[in-house]
Structure 1
């Protein structure tokens, strides 16, 4: 999911890293404009089936 920088309000920033923890997905972001970093935790049970499938994609850690 894309997000907006809470510091400079730049839009459509893609996560630099994503990790799944059970029913939660933690996305880490870094703004390309101001370099501000932040993390967002999302509960997959609150999203549609489409978002749940996206979060189940294999990561580098699970692919090894």
Structure 2
């Protein structure tokens, strides 16, 4: 699953994240539009079952 967003300034669609970070059951994506605007979104992973399943399959630091 490839998550994209729309720029809140110029309304350009399909902007891909430039950074991502997982915090508990949330994933935070940072975006930068070609118009120069930057923003971040936080999504609840339990709402995106496919992402949540992939995260559960990755080894965590304790298992590594």
What is the TM-score with the length of structure 1 in the denominator? 0.76
Larger Rg: 2
Tell me, which stretches of 5 or more residues in structure 2 are unaligned?
none
Structure-2 separation of matches of 1:47 and 1:19: 15
In structure 2, distance between residues paired with 1:46 and 1:11: 22
Gaps of 5+ in 1: none
Please give the secondary structure, in 1, of the residue aligned with 2:29. strand
**TM-score computed with the length of structure 2 as normaliser:** 0.76
Moved over 2 A (4+): none
CA RMSD of aligned residues (A): 1.9
Residues matched between the structures, number: 55
Partner of 1:3: 5
